[in-house]
Structure 1
Amino acid sequence: MGSLGRALSKGSIRCLTTAAAARESAEGSLFQRLTALAGTDGSAGVELNKWLEEGKSVKKWEIERFIKRLRGYKRFKHALQLSEWMDTKDMKLSRGDYAVRIDLLAKTQGVDSAEKYFHSLPKAKRNWATYGALLNCYCVNKMTEKAESLFGKMKEEKFACTSLVYNNIMTLYLKIDQPQRVPPLVQEMKGKGLKLDIVSYNLLMNSYAAMNDVEGAEKVVEEMKGEGKAGGWSTYSNLAAIYVKAGLFEKAESTLKEVEKTEGTKSREVFQFLMSLYAGTGNAAEVYRIWDALKSAFPKSTNLSHLVMLQSLVRLGDISGARVFFDEWESKCLHYDFRLTNVMISVYLNRNMINEAESIFEGAKKKGGIPTVRTMEIFMDYHMKNAQFDFVLKFLDEAITKSYSNNWKMSVEKFQPLKKYFEENGNVDGAEELYEKFKKTNSLEAAVYDSLLRTYIAAGRTEPTMRQRIEADKVEVNPEMEKLLEKVCPL
């Protein structure tokens, strides 16, 4: 073991040089170093080692805080590197640390990697926290069969003992349009004596709303009142949203008045919900009233508040008012937020006003705005719809470049028109280029290879290494793909 290795200890890592350096906090400048890695090939682990070599120290709880903050910024790759770094220094990980690792692996390397890590853990480490983290991965990715299987296993192991576990499954059922399966789960919770939290009640309300059972949603609120869990602004705003969706605008506005009476009106978040929901009722006067009230309560309005107001004006169909509002914000903002620009770009592209959209886009960049992956997606969607595939590829390259640190994935379904275009024209080079982009964004699925094989067949070409490529990419060959493979890569 070298001098650096001998200076390491569990729980607290310290390089023993001067006492002054050892006391220096990692909270400030070290985190700045870590955030500076965004958009680079730099490793958070390497940066930590450099920090130690400079005679400074960092404690485990500080690293955990860094991981939490990086996750909040969607810097999952670097957060994972910090998590793995703790392993290399033989730090004693908590059950929460293991659960976070599972989540980070799923976000950066896919659910398969998260599964492998989970199953590699000693049985004692496969507890309610790690089971719950894997269940969340399945639910987020709509992997219903695996989620239900794991949920059953958790019941057997007595790990399905919190509302969070049930909330994950109920959220999944709402995502896959099976709201009817939510109420029975709530009854199951009650039968086990598990207390429903606010999220549980809101999911139950939303399930009734999805089934067009407004009365059922109202009964949930009454039940919450009986349990002493209603009265908060989140409950009433959720009910108001249900009324808006059902077109019951009078009931929605009456409920929003209840929201305004709560203590929650002291927060920006409540004002933002009110603006959005009043816009849903089509009441422009109330939207402007709430905006004025927000500015009165919080003279320094945030970009997020401006974003919600802009979205509300668009929802009202007041496009000219939205443009005036946007121009005013853009002329005064201290920190440019491209989310507002994205709203205006979408407005114009949805109306086939490409020149106006491009003008907004170029103007924002001149003012120092930095386009986001979402910006590129908006333009890609427009050009895809209009079969302008050269532009699609141009903005796709930009999206991939910008997505380096937040692990953006390409939607196979979204790029179906482009895949079909390459197939119909036997454009193998184009199909291979698209394949590489799917691979680069960790978005490969069987459907990508299916399209690539069909393109080779349309071009009358073979590819002897195709089977090895598929195996290396860990893509499962289904019977239909096997038929295509026989033509492209005969055995």
Structure 2
Amino acid sequence: VPDTLKDMRLYGALLNAYVGAKIRDKAETLMEQMRNKGYCITPLPYNVMMTLYMKLDELDEVEELVSEMKQKKISLDSYSYNIWLSARGSQGSPESMEQVFREMDLDPRIIPNWTTFSTMASMYAKLGQLEKAEQCLRNLETRITNRDRMPYHYLLSLYGSLGNRGEVYRVWNIYKSVFPNIPNWGYHSVISSLVRSGDIEGAEKLYEEWLPVKSSFDPKIGNL
């Protein structure tokens, strides 16, 4: 492995560590060093820094990094677009979020994934645009591939947030048909969703269903 590539990996690992610990000053200093060494030639370090700024609610900094990537002709990847979508949605502007999605949709290298639609659904729900949120969830469902459990948990949680218990049950039944063995966190998702949508009786029934099949006792489920 060339020394340059080793250095890029080491710097990248250190940047991840600083961002994970939310040490902003050290992360920004290291990012500047990476720029000076010519290591910022892929979306990865930008995505890591955008993640930090999202954690710190520094949404303008996300926009600055996207602008820098475009100026330097560094193509955004799916992760870049998804963070940018989240930043725009967090600003309270569905129109500006939709502008990013249109740009993403027109990018021939990018296919919006289920995370894209879960991000948009969550933002629409927070902004009270429930019909658009549900349309995003329908799009999310068409993007589920292979044997990935995570999208089902997001669907359950988001439909619960929208108060749509019918869809919670529909997704739950599909989830159980695809995965015969449901882990504790699957039950946690559906039970908390039913509680949020006001179906306490249904939540209690699923709690009773979970008790004999649980992999281990999870007090978080009992406390819902």
TM-score calculated relative to the size of structure 2: 0.89
In the alignment, is residue 150 of structure 1 matched against residue 18 of structure 2? no
1:187 to 43, 50, 67: 67
What amino acid sits opposite 2:183 in the alignment? T
Percent sequence identity is 36
- C-alpha contact (below 8 Å) 2:59/2:87 kept by paired residues: yes
Counterpart position of 1:279: 160
Note the alpha carbon deviations across 1:421-454, whole angstroms, 9 max, x for none.
Answer: xxxxxxxxxxxxxxxxxxxxxxxxxxxxxxxxxx
Conserved? CA contact 1:237–1:259, under 8 Å: yes
Q: Deviations over 1:164-201 (max 9, x none)?
A: 10011111111111111111211111211212111111
| Offset at residue 152 of structure 1 (A) | 0.8
What are the Cα deviations for residues 67-88 of structure 1, in whole angstroms up to 9, with x where unaligned?
A: xxxxxxxxxxxxxxxxxxxxxx
Task: Name the CA distance, whole Å, in 1 between partners of 2:53 and 2:122.
Answer: 19
Structure 2 residue corresponding to 1:294, chosen from 145, 170, 175: 175
Cα distance between partner residues in 1 of 2:72 and 2:32: 15
Question: Compared with structure 1, are the counterparts of its residues 325 and 199 closer, same or farther at alpha carbon in structure 2 (3 Å cutoff)?
Answer: same
Show the counterpart of 1:325. Answer: 206
Aligned partner of 2:129 in structure 1 is 248
CA offset at residue 141 of structure 1?
1.4
CA distance in 1, matches of 2:135, 2:186: 23
Partners of 1:330 and 1:336 within 8 A in 2:
no
Aligned length: 223
* Cα distance in 1 for residues equivalent to 2:83 and 2:45: 13
C-alpha displacement of 1:214: 1.4
TM-superposed CA distance for 1:124, in Å, is: 6.9
Which of 30, 49, 56 is the equivalent residue of 1:169?
A: 49
C-alpha displacement of 1:262: 3.4
**Is 1:196 aligned with 2:53?**
no
Please say if residues 78 and 112 of structure 2, whose CA atoms lie closer than 8 Å, have aligned partners that are also in contact: no
* Correspondence for 2:222: 344
What letter corresponds to residue 260 of structure 1 in structure 2? E
Structure 1 unmatched ranges of 5 or more: 1-93, 96-122, 348-491
Change in CA separation of 1:164 and 1:236 when aligned onto 2, cut-off 3 Å: same
The offset of 1:300, in angstroms, is 3.2
Q: CA separation in 1, counterparts of 2:213 and 2:220?
A: 18
In the alignment, structure 1 residue 138 sits paired with structure 2 residue 18: yes
State whether residues 114 and 143 of structure 2, in contact with CA within 8 Å, keep that contact through their aligned partners in structure 1. yes
RCO comparison, higher one (Cα < 8 Å, 6+): 2
Instruction: Label 1:124 to 1:250 Cα distance change in 2 as closer, same or farther (>3 A).
Output: closer
Change in Cα spacing, 1:194 to 1:325, as seen in structure 2 (3 Å) is: same
DSSP-derived class of the 1:167 partner = helix
Q: 1:305 aligns with which of 181, 186, 211?
A: 186
Equivalence for 2:141:
260
CA contact (8 A) 2:144 2:151 kept: no
- Alignment match, 1:314: 195
For 2:121 and 2:140, the matched residues in 1 are separated by 9
Amino acid at match of 1:296: S
Q: Give the Cα–Cα distance (whole angstroms) in 1 for the partners of residues 98 and 157 of structure 2.
A: 21
Matched, 1:220 2:100: yes
Closer, same or farther: CA 208–186 of 1 in aligned 2, 3 Å: same
| Match for residue 206 of structure 1 among 86, 104, 124 | 86
Q: Structure 1 residues 251, 124: closer, same or farther in 2, change over 3 A?
A: closer
Q: Deviations over 1:101-122 (max 9, x none)?
A: xxxxxxxxxxxxxxxxxxxxxx
Q: CA deviation at 1:270?
A: 2.4
Partner SS state of residue 211, structure 2: helix
Once residues 80 and 9 of structure 2 are traced to their aligned partners in structure 1, the CA distance between those partners, rounded to angstroms, is 19
Q: Which amino acid aligns with 1:153?
A: Q
Query: Aligned in 2, Cα 1:207/1:131: closer, same or farther, shift over 3 Å?
Result: same
Q: Give the greater-gyration-radius structure (CA).
A: 1
Structure 1 residues 294 and 125: CA distance shift in structure 2, 3 A: closer
Alignment of 1:410-421 (within 5 A): none
CA distance in 2, matches of 1:232, 1:177: 24
Structure-1 separation of matches of 2:6 and 2:183 = 43
Deviation string for 1:86-106 (max 9, x for gaps)? xxxxxxxx79xxxxxxxxxxx
Q: Report if aligned partners of 1:139, 1:169 keep a CA contact under 8 Å in 2.
A: yes
